[in-house]
Structure 1
Amino acid sequence: MKLKRNKFSAVNSVMRIIFLLMCFCLPWANGLLAKENNISFIASVLKDRIITGTVKGPDGVGIPGAGVIVKGTNVSVITDNNGKFSIKVVDNNAVLVVTTIGFKPQEVIVGNSQILNINLQESSNELKEVTINVGYGTQKKVTSVGAQSSISTKDLTQSPVANISNSLAGRLPGLFAVQASGEPGADNSQIFIRGVSTFTGSTSPLVLVDGIQVDNFNSIDPNEIEGVTILKDASTTAVYGVRGANGVILVTTKRGKIGTPTINYTFENAFNSFTATPEKMGSFDFANSFNQALKNDAYVSNSTYTPRYSDSDLAKYKSGEDPVFFPNIDWYDLMVKDVSQQRRHNLSVRGGTDKVKYAISAGLFNQEGLFDDAGVKADYDPQIRYGRYNFRSNLDYTISKRFRAALDLSSIIENRSGNNANTNSIMNFLNGAAPNLSPGVVDGKIVLFEGFGSPLTTLYSVGYKNDVRNLINGSLRLDHDLDFITKGLTSHALIAYQNSNRKLSEYSRVFVTYRAIKNPDGTIDYRQLADNQPFNYNPTDPERNRRITGEFAIDYKRTFNSHTVSGLLLYNQIKSTNRDFAYLVPNSYQSYVSRLDYDYKGRYLAQISASYYGTENFAPSERFGFFPAYSIGWVPSEEKFFPKGELINFLKIRGSYGEVGNDQLSANFLRDPNSRFLYRDPAFTRRGPYTVDGSYRFGVFGQNLASYEALREGSASSPNLTWERVIKTNIGVDLVGLNNKLTVTLDAFNTTTDNILAVPRTVSALTGIGAAAENLGKMTNKGFEVEMGFRNNIRDFNYFIKGNYSFARNKIIFQDELPQTFAYAQRTGNIAGQNFGFIAEGFFNTWEETNDQNRPQYTFRDGNRIQPGDVRYRDVNGDGLINNDDSVPIGYSSTVPEIIFGLSVGGSWRGLDFSALFQGASHFSVPYTRRANQAFFDGDPSAAASYLSESWTQERYEQGLPISFPRFGVGNGARGFNNYLGSTLWIANAEYLRLKNVEIGYTLKPSLLSKVGLKTTRIYLNANNLITWSHMLKGIDPEAANLTSINGNFEAYGLVRTVNLGINVNF
């Protein structure tokens, strides 16, 4: 009986309950809290009439996204892309209030008019109306003195990706999001803000959703998000103390608005395919090349050349006459689909009254992998599948004149199912399998040759798994106006609870395979190699995580004539529990936060902020750290002498200086016993039973020996260890010009990280215990950012162009390392993650060159055995030897690029809109190793076919043809080893430019929609990772090659290109 894959029956039940709750909440929220003097529903139906109109700017062009509300009621609508709207009013005395950012609000009496044309006037400065998120609050952008960047939900939802981090790439200056895999459910991007400022510990930024720290940032439905802000300098991150050292990402979800319910539904159907697939050879070319590789190796090893494939074998491969015993399998064609499918649904409702506002959202996302069943007859599906259910409810209550409450609830359920193999193992075998390795699939059977496997066995032979994760978040915030004490004083209290669980179920067995046997009469039998076995159920212990956050704050803001003063005092405490934490002890943080802002006429600005942060990781005397920050700003455009006009509308100069901290010795310090409680006395760690690294074994030698667990002394303690200090300096300029059409932001920054937590490398292993961690490192990180945007219109055509460019270069000032013979071999003084290797200077082309007694002598595993076609290396120190003393810095870092940039363009004309985003990176390198540069790694054809065609041969040399690579050989053993040393030959320039996103959409005319009860409908087509330009070998995506351990080994599930069709309906 064929097993059915999990259909999330429990999850479907949850979704039904959620839907019923939504249906129940809407009429309750509006009906129960409606004002007593509101007109009843029946009466309104009898009297209501429809008013249509257009909201335009001074240039006569329609303004999209303007809010139109019937004054004194909850009835409201939003204008479409052409500025048009349609709204119900009760009588001729109704007043419409029209508002939008950048324009002055306007009230219009309806009267007897059926069609209204409303012309708005621009406000003096759009910045004055823009509010941005900062740590524990909000500020007006015009008076903000920090370095931050923001994007809205419109930008996020243009990318048809599975998670949020992948949609941020190229959109924000200073933020680099790199994706190492496109595997469903495991395709998150790693995020860096302003590069890297430490060579130990975590480099990931802190992420908060509606003020609450989260670990599931990538699992949030993009449709739930209102906007994302990144905080980059000390003035914005110091309030987060130890958690803000690597920058902060603030995610704000959508909240309710006063007005009639707005129901929004989005459906997307997308198709995925790999962005890059390696070139492969057919069996005939492979066999010829393999023979040539053996011949090449025979020279240097002084062995007799014996071809593996005879002329008869080559003829059969070429003719294809015997596909079973002389197969020609394209494993990618057999095992990888051209496209896979993904779907997204989201239904949301927003609305409210002056008493309660609500925003409720439910989403469903499904994505399948690109593995094909290859025609194998199996009773289970090995395909990778990922499903996610999202639910969020944000409710805001006005309890009384002074009391308000916000109750936020969210739930995420994820299910990842498919084959039980490690995906990298499948891709490794798939990319390295020879086309003649096995016959592949015959009549639904996996057929093997004796002594050889198949990528199909990796896909099928280990069974399948079902991985279910669920997360529940809840928070309650109470706000209290204390203006009875003094005007402008408020307080709030918040408590948040997060609970996540994971259940992994694995079902394993040996999959039945067959061996082909040719009978004397030429017929073929297929011998079954194993009996069918039932599945073995391998349950794992459930994972449970819990985090509780408590917060209390007092805020103050008041204006005295021309002086505006605001302040914040806040207490925050976080406790996290996880059974995987080292020593099974919960993790806790405690902080006291303060901030004081001053603003004189919007002209002179100042801010002082600080946090007093406590960690469990240091001794009591060092447990708390004080992290202050200072910032000032000057707005010359508000000075009387400033010639403000059409050219420059607004100009602000700002600067900041401050400190943040770090208490983490490693990125995974909570689960690492050697990275938690570093001040503790020397610990003893239970180890064993040992079979490799030296446990005690007793018995008679040569007979059964019993292994016994042993105790060994752990790492030494560090009672004086203290905070890693990160000092940040930032200078910035904000400019708005050309009648508010041009925006420019410039920032220059300098970060110095001192007292870096690290384990000394100069302590001898003969001590018998691990060295104690110390404050012994220092590093700098300097750079600048530019962001520019321009918006304009030509009659009905609106267009924009926006770009950002960031540069960040770090330098290790000091780290504890063993002394090197030559200064250039030191890691100190270089960038973090700097590649080291030899300088390749072409190839040996003749025996005369290899036998030259004056050439440097090679001292590696091959010794001095050199032949024509081998790599020639530079003797850097001139000692006549090629050895490790000749290894020097080459290329750039493989950790994070120094340069990142993005360019977005778009426009709209009547109902049609389009946009495109180009994203790229430069100044980083990726070393080719193993399968990426060794043509027959482990005897399989791994490197790209272009490598073989451009490799050194005597014929190519004599004909003067271009030669890019050394002669190729077989295997990764002694033969040809010298050619694969890390060198400038194998360090790839990994810079790239990618058409990251492109979208075209059309919004239907309101006149067509009002007849069927719809407000707006938009149909759109978009694509992600559409085209990539790079220097990498074919088959390697430059982004996937970065930040991974594969270093171009073809051993990971590739990134995917997504083409998506969607529809968005408002009613």
Structure 2
Amino acid sequence: MDKTILPEYGLKREMVRLCLLPILFLMPELVFSQTGPVKKDSLPVTETISLLNKSQKKSNLLQSTATVYNEQLITTPAPSFLQALPGRLSGLYTRQRSGVQDTDDPISVVDFRIRGQVPIILIDGVPRDFSSIDPESIESVTILKDALSTVMFGQRSSGNIIQVTTKRPVVSPFKLSFTAQHGLQSMINKSKPVSAADFAILYNEARNNDGLAPVYSAADILAYQTGSDPLFHPNNDYRKLFLNKNASLDRFNINMQSGNETARFYVAMDYQKEGGFFNTADINTYSTNAGVDRYIVRSNVSVDLNKTLNIGLNIFGRIQDANQPGGTTSAIFSAIAYTPNNAYSIFNPDGSLGGNSTFSNNIYGMLNNSGYLKSSARDLAADMEITQKLGIILPGLWIKGNISYNNTVATSVDRTKDFLVYNLNIGSGTPVYTPIGTSRSQSTTLSISSRRTYTYGKLSLGYDRNFNGHSLSLLALADNQSTTLNLDLPATYTNIAGNATYNFKEKYFAEAALSYGGHNRFKPGSRFGLFYAAGLGWNLAKEDFLKEVPWINTLKPRISYGRTGNANVGYYVYDQYYEYGGTSAAYYFGSTPAVARYYREMALANPNATWEKANKLNIGLDVEMFDSRLKITSEYFNDRYSDLMQDRGKSIQLIGQTFPAENVGKNRYTGVENNISWNGKSASFGYFVSGNISMLQSKVLYQDEVYRQYGYQKRTGLPVGQVFGYLADGFFQSQADINSSPAVDGYTPVPGDIRYKDLNGDGMINQFDETALGTQRAMIYYGLTAGFNVKGFDLSISIQGVANRDIVIGSGNNLVANALAFDFQNSGNAQAFEQHLNRWTPANAANATYPRLSIGTNTNNQRASSFWVQSMAYLRLQNIDMGYTLPASLTSRIRVNSIRIFANAFNVYSFDKLNYSDPEGYNSIFPLRRTFNIGLNVKL
């Protein structure tokens, strides 16, 4: 790192010191003492309350949740813990959006939804928006899916929740764990560009179809085929030239913990390095490859000041440094994917970079001659918790205060520069090199990309008591979170909430929760709303008529219902804003126009904006049998969303102003979720299998749509986000076929064009013939995890998949997919791919799978239609993990508790029908990554 640009020398070391500081005063006692057996009545304050809560939750689970634990998370060699979740939790739909490296925005990497909604992420109970947490430090990840489990979050409760719990300090002798891993990543890239010769043939054909003269002669095509003239007839394979087959992924983690009845700590340090895929030249004193270095330190400390008072301090620090070429990773990946193989010769005979007026960005130059860009993100999070038992007032009573602070600063260093390419011409016999572009010296700028600050405070009062078969848990809390992004005014959420949980002899259950939540982005006086939920359950296995059936441990039907909220509102939309626009704006303020300041009215205000609402019903059945070795959970949910913020379809533009979104929409999401697991053990052989399947159906109940004459065009009643277009009816085969078919509005078809159905029978193909495209069946997503261990060997696998999921190429929101599917995009200057070889021609009319070729945009063939519907269903072997733990008789000789050698793989293989892209990352220029990884874990 350039210390003259980033004055952060020693920052990583200082961050480690900061996180270790809270435990320094504890080290002599904790590290050098052996903690013996702990009596139940001498448990620490926080562990006592935690045990009470866990016991209550285990027997009185009415909420709809699903949990995955640390042992499953650490088997996935992926940068983000979110990438370890697919297929493991019923009700959680995930899609790997991109293989991009330099990002901590979870939505950019993984599209994750719970019952159709985008959840918030809680880390140790505090809302946070980063996902790069080392898996070793995570105790569990739980998704909260129904109103009863989320309602206490007020105006953030409708979207459901991903709750991450890091490892807590516990009473334990000193333990140390060290893990070292090395992996190789490869790109899952299924697109297949055509050769230079095929490109020239197809390009000539496309021009001929458009009534244009060809640009490649027979001699040109022959030169491309034979490779006889690589200077003027190149056939560049840009992937082989500029991309490595593999990139490294290295990770090192060390964590330690210890504690007695007085003080406990857990500390973890994690370093991860992702290498770049670019094949760069060794011509610079700095790196122009892409790569990411991530440093994480976590310190969780818990101290009992006396038998009833506990203080906990959690500190999290992260530094993430990323590098990329000055040509930018995104632009280079795009150039590699879309530049025709014959665009230019990489080098001219004199060693200069080749290029021309059409292709003025030589990929070699973008990689090596454009300087570099550095970005850096710094996170510091601190949580303090004080817990006081109030048993002297009332047994089981406690009070807790939480304060959290999170600061994230993202900076960027621009050291980019421009370079020239040269177009070589030897038509006169003398080489003439014409420079193209500009040459600029290297920039030297440092800027702050973004800054986010979160402050969170919570005060809780709780009561937990068991007496005469009755178990009662009461919780009341008030919390406030303030978030500041860059120069915006803070966004503040405030909640006052309560929860009551009761069960009688673990047979009859009841739970109720209430929240009065507010958000400061609504109009004063209309910022707070009331949200509520309640649930009932009955464990029939505890009844006398089933007590004598020993193989049934739990048979519990349960039901919950509640109302939740979502503050989906813009930046103080209740106020009308005006923008300074110089002398051309519509209104002026001042005595005379000559000295006035002119302003224009921005989007219309919406003083009536309020929170979105959801009424949620959840019905579940929990079954445990055969000493709880077999567990089954089945749930049905019906979530009805109202007051959704949407633009009115009937808004007019006569006033010349943009209308605001309003609370008008109504949607419904229904579905079924099932999870079944079995675990067993015999002698030294243990095994488990867990599978889940979820079905989700959405429906638009109301939207303010424009009047549509035909029922097949109405959006109301169809799935949320339904895509519309035309129904394809094969290809026009002849002019006679065209003459006997309906006319196409604004277009004159020719043989080889896609023919469409005239749905309204008016003899014209136009907007009145658009209808719903793709499947409208409930989406299905599922997963299976299984494993075994025997005599030190262990193996686990996980698969996951999706069914009934379609996309429509050309629907307007899949730009990358459009470029990979359509022919000669970017005004005809983009690559062609193998699917274009089977295009319609008079000779191939009967077997063609692609319409006739065109240059650039074809308004008939490339419109959204059933022809471009692609199934995105897949079955993926997601993860494999295998390991061997050395015998204890061997490791004890060297005073080591255990040594495990392991190997694992991520994104192993996918079964799908898509031939040009992965079905998950279809709309990203960054291919998904497959990882093979080996490692060693040593525990002291």
Residue 191 of structure 2 is matched in structure 1 by 278
AA paired with 1:537? T
Q: How does 1:675-690 map to 2 (within 5 A)?
A: 675-680=570-575, 682-687=576-581
Output the CA distance in 2 between the equivalents of 1:444 and 1:166: 44
Output the CA distance in 1 between the equivalents of 2:545 and 2:49: 26
Deviation digits for residues 711-732 of structure 1 (CA, Å, limit 9, x no counterpart): 1123333333333211111000
Residue 111 of structure 1 is matched in structure 2 by none
1:292 and 2:205 are equivalent in the alignment: yes
AA paired with 1:501? V
Residue 735 of structure 1 is matched in structure 2 by 623
Indicate which of 143, 146, 152 corresponds to 1:233: 146
AA paired with 1:323? P
Deviation digits for residues 311-347 of structure 1 (CA, Å, limit 9, x no counterpart): 2112211221111111110111112110111111111
Identify which range, 963-972 or 268-277, moves more after superposition.
963-972
CA RMSD of aligned residues (A): 3.0
AA paired with 1:967? R
Output the CA distance in 2 between the equivalents of 1:423 and 1:622: 46
Output the CA distance in 2 between the equivalents of 1:948 and 1:138: 62
1:984 and 2:866 are equivalent in the alignment: yes
1:205 and 2:119 are equivalent in the alignment: yes
AA paired with 1:749? F
Q: CA deviation at 1:1019?
A: 1.0
Deviation digits for residues 228-273 of structure 1 (CA, Å, limit 9, x no counterpart): 1111101110111111211011111112222321111111111111
Residue 239 of structure 2 is matched in structure 1 by 332
1:908 and 2:821 are equivalent in the alignment: no
Residue 376 of structure 2 is matched in structure 1 by 468
Q: In structure 2, do the counterparts of structure 1 residues 735 and 6 end up closer, same or farther at CA, with 3 Å as the change threshold?
A: farther
Q: How does 1:862-901 map to 2 (within 5 A)?
A: 863=747, 865-892=748-775, 898-901=779-782
1:968 and 2:888 are equivalent in the alignment: no
Deviation digits for residues 114-152 of structure 1 (CA, Å, limit 9, x no counterpart): xxxxxxxxxxxxxxx998999xx9842221111000011
Output the CA distance in 2 between the equivalents of 1:529 and 1:715: 43
Q: Any conservation in 2 of the 1:934–1:942 contact (CA below 8 Å)?
A: no
Output the CA distance in 2 between the equivalents of 1:389 and 1:808: 39
1:590 and 2:494 are equivalent in the alignment: yes
Q: Any conservation in 2 of the 1:5–1:381 contact (CA below 8 Å)?
A: no
Output the CA distance in 1 between the equivalents of 2:282 and 2:52: 54
Q: Any conservation in 2 of the 1:637–1:644 contact (CA below 8 Å)?
A: no
AA paired with 2:577? A
Residue 98 of structure 1 is matched in structure 2 by none
Deviation digits for residues 694-745 of structure 1 (CA, Å, limit 9, x no counterpart): 999xxxxxxxxx9x98411233333333332111110001111133221111
Output the CA distance in 2 between the equivalents of 1:971 and 1:712: 38
Q: How does 1:59-70 map to 2 (within 5 A)?
A: 70=36
Indicate which of 533, 536, 549 corresponds to 1:629: 533
Q: Any conservation in 1 of the 2:586–2:600 contact (CA below 8 Å)?
A: no
1:827 and 2:747 are equivalent in the alignment: no
Q: CA deviation at 1:380?
A: 4.3
Question: Secondary structure at the residue paired with 1:1002?
Answer: strand
Output the CA distance in 2 between the equivalents of 1:686 and 1:899: 51
Q: CA deviation at 1:591?
A: 0.9
Residue 10 of structure 2 is matched in structure 1 by 13
Q: In structure 2, do the counterparts of structure 1 residues 245 and 986 end up closer, same or farther at CA, with 3 Å as the change threshold?
A: same
TM-score, reference length from structure 2:
0.92
Deviation digits for residues 881-921 of structure 1 (CA, Å, limit 9, x no counterpart): 1011101000148xx98221111121111111111111111
Residue 831 of structure 2 is matched in structure 1 by 942
Output the CA distance in 2 between the equivalents of 1:23 and 1:723: 43
1:29 and 2:29 are equivalent in the alignment: no
- Which ranges in structure 1 are unaligned for 5 or more consecutive residues? 35-39, 45-68, 75-128, 197-202, 299-304, 666-674, 697-705
Output the CA distance in 2 between the equivalents of 1:684 and 1:12: 45
Q: CA deviation at 1:620?
A: 2.9
Q: How does 1:497-896 map to 2 (within 5 A)?
A: 497-518=405-426, 533-541=440-448, 543-581=450-488, 585-642=489-546, 645=549, 647-665=551-569, 675-680=570-575, 682-687=576-581, 710-852=598-740, 855-860=741-746, 863=747, 865-892=748-775
Q: In structure 2, do the counterparts of structure 1 residues 451 and 192 end up closer, same or farther at CA, with 3 Å as the change threshold?
A: closer
Indicate which of 471, 482, 487 corresponds to 2:390: 482
Identify which range, 386-395 or 448-457, moves more after superposition.
448-457
AA paired with 1:971? G
Deviation digits for residues 428-466 of structure 1 (CA, Å, limit 9, x no counterpart): 322111111011246864321354333445445653211
Output the CA distance in 2 between the equivalents of 1:897 and 1:364: 42
Aligned residue pairs: how many?
915
Q: CA deviation at 1:649?
A: 2.2
Indicate which of 18, 37, 41 corresponds to 1:71: 37
Output the CA distance in 1 between the equivalents of 2:261 and 2:188: 50
Residue 1028 of structure 1 is matched in structure 2 by 910
Deviation digits for residues 954-975 of structure 1 (CA, Å, limit 9, x no counterpart): 2223xx5x33221222222xxx
Identify which range, 760-769 or 399-408, moves more after superposition.
760-769
Output the CA distance in 2 between the equivalents of 1:549 and 1:406: 16
Q: In structure 2, do the counterparts of structure 1 residues 530 and 241 end up closer, same or farther at CA, with 3 Å as the change threshold?
A: closer
Q: Any conservation in 1 of the 2:319–2:378 contact (CA below 8 Å)?
A: yes
Q: CA deviation at 1:832?
A: 1.7
Deviation digits for residues 352-373 of structure 1 (CA, Å, limit 9, x no counterpart): 1111010001111111232222
AA paired with 1:312? A
Q: Any conservation in 2 of the 1:275–1:1037 contact (CA below 8 Å)?
A: yes
Residue 390 of structure 1 is matched in structure 2 by 296
Q: Any conservation in 2 of the 1:999–1:1022 contact (CA below 8 Å)?
A: yes
Identify which range, 166-175 or 947-956, moves more after superposition.
947-956
Question: Secondary structure at the residue paired with 1:766?
Answer: coil
Q: In structure 2, do the counterparts of structure 1 residues 426 and 483 end up closer, same or farther at CA, with 3 Å as the change threshold?
A: same
Q: Any conservation in 2 of the 1:1017–1:1066 contact (CA below 8 Å)?
A: yes
Q: CA deviation at 1:180?
A: 1.4
Question: Secondary structure at the residue paired with 1:140?
Answer: helix
Q: Any conservation in 2 of the 1:657–1:729 contact (CA below 8 Å)?
A: yes
Residue 141 of structure 1 is matched in structure 2 by 58
1:921 and 2:921 are equivalent in the alignment: no
Q: How does 1:991-1010 map to 2 (within 5 A)?
A: 991-1010=873-892
AA paired with 1:653? P
Q: CA deviation at 1:483?
A: 0.9
Residue 929 of structure 2 is matched in structure 1 by 1056
Residue 96 of structure 1 is matched in structure 2 by none
Output the CA distance in 1 between the equivalents of 2:124 and 2:501: 22
- Greater Cα radius of gyration, structure 1 or 2: 1
Q: CA deviation at 1:935?
A: 1.9
Q: How does 1:252-263 map to 2 (within 5 A)?
A: 252-263=165-176
Output the CA distance in 2 between the equivalents of 1:400 and 1:731: 44
Q: CA deviation at 1:836?
A: 0.7
Q: In structure 2, do the counterparts of structure 1 residues 6 and 1062 end up closer, same or farther at CA, with 3 Å as the change threshold?
A: farther
Output the CA distance in 2 between the equivalents of 1:825 and 1:808: 23
1:266 and 2:179 are equivalent in the alignment: yes
Question: Secondary structure at the residue paired with 2:155?
Answer: helix
Q: CA deviation at 1:640?
A: 0.7
Q: Any conservation in 2 of the 1:258–1:354 contact (CA below 8 Å)?
A: yes
AA paired with 1:859? D
Residue 58 of structure 1 is matched in structure 2 by none
AA paired with 2:757? R
Residue 323 of structure 1 is matched in structure 2 by 230
Output the CA distance in 2 between the equivalents of 1:133 and 1:1059: 42
Deviation digits for residues 362-412 of structure 1 (CA, Å, limit 9, x no counterpart): 111111232222x48455433211111101100011110111111111111
Output the CA distance in 1 between the equivalents of 2:294 and 2:20: 22
Q: CA deviation at 1:177?
A: 2.1
AA paired with 1:602? E
Question: Secondary structure at the residue paired with 1:404?
Answer: strand
Identity %: 28
Q: Any conservation in 1 of the 2:30–2:264 contact (CA below 8 Å)?
A: no
Q: In structure 2, do the counterparts of structure 1 residues 252 and 849 end up closer, same or farther at CA, with 3 Å as the change threshold?
A: same
Q: In structure 2, do the counterparts of structure 1 residues 31 and 356 end up closer, same or farther at CA, with 3 Å as the change threshold?
A: same
Q: CA deviation at 1:934?
A: 2.1
TM-score, reference length from structure 1:
0.81
Q: CA deviation at 1:833?
A: 1.4
